[in-house]
A and B are shown apart, each in its own frame.
Chain A
Amino acid sequence: MSNRRRIKVLISVIGLDGHSTGAEIVSRFLMDAGMEVVYLGIYQTPEMIVSAAIQETVDVIGISSHASNYEQIGLLIDLMKKDNLNDIPVICGGTIPKQYAEVLIKKGVSKIFPPQSTSESIINYIVSSVKR
């Protein structure tokens, strides 16, 4: 019964960053779009995110960053490569300056959504990246 299938997304704030509002709003509209969202909350290390992604078998990881801690996102990508999880797309949102965004994309982040991104653009991106 493939109609039971749902897109499962992990949403987390990474590192020493307590700005949860963005992640919560994104979680909410992804739920409204029919997705299952595993929300981890704030202060999550790359290791905790990877472990949760494995235990939950998610399709996509969404990282919220508002505290200039981009190197944490880089560490997450490294860890995922090490653990053979690079088939899971990582998308990021928040206040990430352009020059850092370019570095992160080079590193392996699939997509970065800057402030003012619409919910539709995020939903559509996730749907298209999961379909494959």
Chain B
Amino acid sequence: MVNSVVKKIVNGDVRVAAKLIRDIDDGTPGTREILKALYGHTGNAYIIGITGAPGVGKSTVADQMVHALRKNGKTVGVLAVDPTSPLSGGAILGDRIRMQRHSLDEGVFIRSLATRGQFGGLTQSTRSAIDVVDAMGKDYIIVETVGVGQDEIDIAKSAHTTVIVVVPGMGDNIQAIKAGIFEVGDIFVINKSDRPDAEKTLNDLKAMIDITRKKFKKEGWEPPILMAEAVSNKGIVELLNEIEKHRKNRKALSRESIIRHKKAIARFELIDMIKSRLVEEALNHIINSLEFKKYLDCIMDGTKDPYSACDELLSAKLNFLEDENTE
């Protein structure tokens, strides 16, 4: 069963691949076994992350990139991540609107993903979805995320090239994403650059990423800032050229630094995977226990403070934590 699924995905079966991504999202039992078997078929796609505040035109940029890559005969997968409503748990996944002209192209696979998980599961499920599309044999995978959270920054870290999109006249949008996200940008795009203030944004951006640029410069890469009007396909060829340059630059690094880089990413991803499974399973184990309900009642009627409740629950349910508590 696992083998036939893997074989179908490697042969590019859209339906089976799409179903597996759904199972990853839903946490369907047995999915991990398929992912284990699929992993050997991954590692061939070039992964491009696109991130930025809502409304800056990430989907339009992605759409134009798909168009240009297809013209060059490359196959493309797009994973578009949109936020889940924390109130209802639902989501509107609207990124396809900008990309539907590629829906009948067999060389393009587009998939919307909602952030869902309350255990930081976004990075896990998105990475697994990347693996699935990678195994399908797509040359490029574009991962589009709203660049405002730690999870999104983590996804950006997994991409080979991370593109950060901003727009003029939205000082606040730079403010919103500057904490953390600018450090992971390999290429910056000022979209909607026909708007007034584009020059000002360019200067602001230059000042803001100056430190990052110096750091990168040591590795032979100074993140460029490009002007674009994605809706009229301006600046997209230049963007793809820069991505290609960045790709070559990565390849040109010394063998040691490539291995060091790869190991750092592998380490980061493994820790992340362990973390999310650990938290999910441990948390479920604790909050579904009778003790948890008892302690909650104690807090409510004032016979227990939450600090003691937390300590006692952890030592009762996860006894390996005891050592730390007694120290």
**A4:B117 contact, CB within 8 angstroms:** yes
What are some 11 contacts across the A-B interface (CB < 8 A)? Answer: A2-B27, A4-B27, A5-B26, A6-B90, A8-B22, A35-B90, A41-B97, A41-B100, A44-B100, A48-B103, A52-B100
**Interface residue? B175 (CB, 8 A):** no
Closest residue of A by beta carbon distance from B118: A4
- A17 cross-chain contacts in B, Cβ below 8 A: none
**Interface residue? A102 (CB, 8 A):** no
**B22:A57 contact, CB within 8 angstroms:** yes
- B284 cross-chain contacts in A, Cβ below 8 A: 1
- A127 cross-chain contacts in B, Cβ below 8 A: none
**Interface residue? B54 (CB, 8 A):** no
Closest residue of B by beta carbon distance from A83: B15
- A40 cross-chain contacts in B, Cβ below 8 A: 96-97, 100
**A38:B116 contact, CB within 8 angstroms:** no
Closest 3 CB pairs of A and B: A31-B90, A1-B27, A57-B22
**A11-43 interface mask toward B, CB cutoff 8 Å, 1 = contact, 0 = none?**
000000000000000011011111111111100
**B99-122 interface mask toward A, CB cutoff 8 Å, 1 = contact, 0 = none?**
010011000011110101100010
- B15 cross-chain contacts in A, Cβ below 8 A: 54
Q: Which of B70-117 contact A (CB under 8 A)?
A: 84-85, 87-94, 96-97, 100, 103-104, 109-112, 114, 116-117
**A39:B97 contact, CB within 8 angstroms:** yes
Closest residue of A by beta carbon distance from B21: A57
**Interface residue? A129 (CB, 8 A):** no
**Interface residue? A120 (CB, 8 A):** no
- B100 cross-chain contacts in A, Cβ below 8 A: 40-41, 44, 48, 52
- A48 cross-chain contacts in B, Cβ below 8 A: 100, 103-104
**B93:A39 contact, CB within 8 angstroms:** yes
Q: How distant is A69 from chain B, measured CB to nearest CB, in Å?
A: 18
Closest residue of A by beta carbon distance from B111: A55
**Interface residue? B14 (CB, 8 A):** yes
**A47:B104 contact, CB within 8 angstroms:** yes
Q: Which of B43-86 contact A (CB under 8 A)?
A: 84-85
- Counting residue pairs across A and B whose Cβ atoms lie within 8 Å, the total is 93
A38 and B112 in contact (CB under 8 A), knowing A4-B117, A48-B104, A52-B103?
Answer: yes
**Interface residue? B280 (CB, 8 A):** yes
**Interface residue? B25 (CB, 8 A):** yes
**Interface residue? B19 (CB, 8 A):** yes
**Interface residue? A51 (CB, 8 A):** yes
Closest residue of B by beta carbon distance from A52: B103
- B25 cross-chain contacts in A, Cβ below 8 A: 4, 6
**Interface residue? B209 (CB, 8 A):** no
**Interface residue? A71 (CB, 8 A):** no
**Interface residue? B35 (CB, 8 A):** no
C-alpha gap A35/B84 in the complex (Å): 10
C-alpha gap A37/B100 in the complex (Å): 15
- A4 cross-chain contacts in B, Cβ below 8 A: 25-27, 116-117, 121
- B94 cross-chain contacts in A, Cβ below 8 A: 39, 41
Known interface pairs A6-B25, A31-B85, A34-B90; 15 further A-B residue pairs with C-beta atoms within 8 A, sorted by A's residue number? A2-B27, A4-B27, A4-B117, A5-B27, A27-B92, A36-B91, A37-B90, A39-B93, A39-B96, A47-B104, A52-B103, A55-B18, A55-B103, A55-B109, A56-B93
**A2:B91 contact, CB within 8 angstroms:** no
**B88:A32 contact, CB within 8 angstroms:** yes
A56 and B112 in contact (CB under 8 A), knowing A4-B26, A31-B90, A33-B90?
Answer: yes
C-alpha gap A1/B31 in the complex (Å): 11
